[in-house]
Amino acid sequence: MNLANYINGELKAPTSGKYLDLFDPSKGEVYGGVPDSGEEEVESAYQAANAAFEDWANLSVDKRSQILVKIADLIDERHEELAQAESLDNGKPLSLARKVDIPRASSNIRFFAQAITQFSSESHEMADAINYTLRSPIGVIGTISPWNLPLYLFTWKIAPALAAGNTVIAKPSEVTPMTAFLFSKICIEAGLPKGVLNILHGDGLKVGASMVKHPGVKAISFTGSTRVGREIASVAAPMFKKISLEMGGKNPNVIFADCDYDLMLDTTVRSSFANQGQICLCGSRILVEKPLYEKFKKDFVERTKKLKIGAPTAADTNIGAIVSKPHFEKILSYIKLAKEEGGTILTGGNTVQPEGHENGWYIEPTIIEGLPHDCRTNLEEIFGPVVTIMPFETEAEALQFANVTDYGLSCTIWTENLSRTQRIAKKIQAGIVWVNTWLHRDLRTPFGGVKSSGVGREGGFEALRFFTEPKNICIKYK
């Protein structure tokens, strides 16, 4: 089955007539074709988005909101079809796609459909004048998203951009484009005016790079690797485009001996291996206070060994397939590197061939100990079911270890000590800190990273501020 681009309200084949292979990671087999789009499609999408901009920007907030709500309703109606498509495309357990990915895609749209009706801007009064800030949509926006949470992150960008009155060219990952393709059909059915959203499929270096360098695309919202984020910034910055970059992470879990142990253990298994460890917020470096270290190690290994690796569609599967062959090989290369760097594999480290899925890309959840904090395994993002565990003695040491990497996306702290929580949370170099919980999301909060993990914030009014341009208007009193 070949997917199609969505340009000016219509589904269109790529002008090149060429398609990239689309893989089912659970079997390692090709199951479809992804349009191999490029500059031509970007130009057509831009023309459509630009032509649609005035009318969409001038539509009342209520009307824009209603159309978005209709799209969210259709996602809910198609929940099962979308969950199955997401699981097939990505290799994630179907149960996870049902419970997390698809409901969150619908919530993203519904949330921003409502948020825009509550969005406001400031006014600043002087003795002799009033200033008010007008926030207007920017124009044509480019959004570029990754493969790990395909529809979830795709809609997380599109929803605020559209709600704020922009028109959009959106590029899902070529590795997992299926739900974005199904989403284009939903937009057509929901009556989204033509050209308001255009979805282009294909290679990042071709279609993604063409979007970034197109002079008419005024802002880029990107989620993906730090390497690609850096490339995008180097093209967009001299063109003075607005950019929002959500990039990689190497998140620490800091576990103190006084924590709620059972809750911590349950959550740490999840924060290590959910979605095969392919969530930017997964905790991949687990720092444990020395008195608890041996007990934690034993229990964590035992619990991890019980995780069921298998076909994404099987009801009892906890760990599905890795998304692609190159990524599978990258993760394995890091397991090899960890051994070379002196690490001991406590459990995992091997590939798995579930029955009937022998050619799929499966890796056991892997726990490694004995590595220094500044080795490559502990500094570079692996983005798979691989974690390292390390003891620490003091709070100061925990902070030093936690902050050692170039990344700064999120951190989870486990302790019952409130004063310590406040001290550490303030000093951790991360955009998001969870205390005694993980991936606990409120869509109103600012989301993003510091250092090499990000520039700017998504979520709530932060996103609506990003997708609008403020203009100060000063009116003198008479």
Judge whether 462 counts as a catalytic residue: no
Q: Which stretch binds ligand NAD (CB under 6 A): 18-26, 178-186, 222-230, 360-368?
A: 222-230
In this structure, the strands spanning 283-289 and 217-223 are unpaired
223 near ligand NAD, judged by CB under 6 A: yes
224 near ligand NAD, judged by CB under 6 A: yes
Say if residues 325 and 361 touch (Cβ distance below 8 Å).
yes
Q: Output the six-digit token pair for 192.
A: 């989204």
Of 93, 150, 248, 408, the one binding ligand NAD (CB under 6 A) is 248
Q: Read off the amino acid at residue 187.
A: C
289 near ligand NAD, judged by CB under 6 A: no
Secondary structure of residue 440 in the 3-state scheme: coil
232 near ligand NAD, judged by CB under 6 A: yes
Judge whether 246 counts as a catalytic residue: yes
Place of tokens 């999301």: 441
In this structure, the strands spanning 366-369 and 344-347 are antiparallel
38 near ligand NAD, judged by CB under 6 A: no
**Active-site annotation holder among 41, 174, 259, 280:** 280
The torsion angle over the Cα atoms of residues 241, 457, 92 and 82, rounded to 10 degrees, is -70
Distances from the Cα of 19 to the Cαs of 5, 43, 151, 172, 460, in angstroms? 11, 19, 21, 15, 37
Of 32, 349, 449, 459, the one binding ligand NAD (CB under 6 A) is 449
Return the bridge partners of 290, or none.
none
User: Smallest gap, in angstroms, from Cβ of residue 254 to ligand NAD?
Assistant: 20
Q: Which stretch binds ligand NAD (CB under 6 A): 21-29, 179-187, 218-226, 469-477?
A: 218-226
Site track 155-174 with ligand NAD (rule: CB under 6 A), x = hit: ----------------x-xx
385 near ligand NAD, judged by CB under 6 A: no
Return the bridge partners of 367, or none.
347, 387
Q: Read off the amino acid at residue 154.
A: F
Nearer Cβ to ligand NAD (33/204)? 204
In this structure, the strands spanning 123-125 and 129-137 are antiparallel
Say if residues 312 and 276 touch (Cβ distance below 8 Å).
no
Binding footprint of ligand NAD, residue count (CB under 6 A):
31
User: Smallest gap, in angstroms, from Cβ of residue 234 to ligand NAD?
Assistant: 10
Number of C-beta neighbours around residue 26 at 10 A: 28
Q: Which stretch binds ligand NAD (CB under 6 A): 24-32, 220-228, 310-318, 367-375?
A: 220-228
Chain positions contacting ligand NAD, by CB under 6 A: 144-148, 153, 171, 173-174, 204-205, 208-209, 212, 223-225, 228, 231-232, 246-249, 280, 381, 383, 409, 449, 453-454
Residues carrying an active site annotation = 246, 280
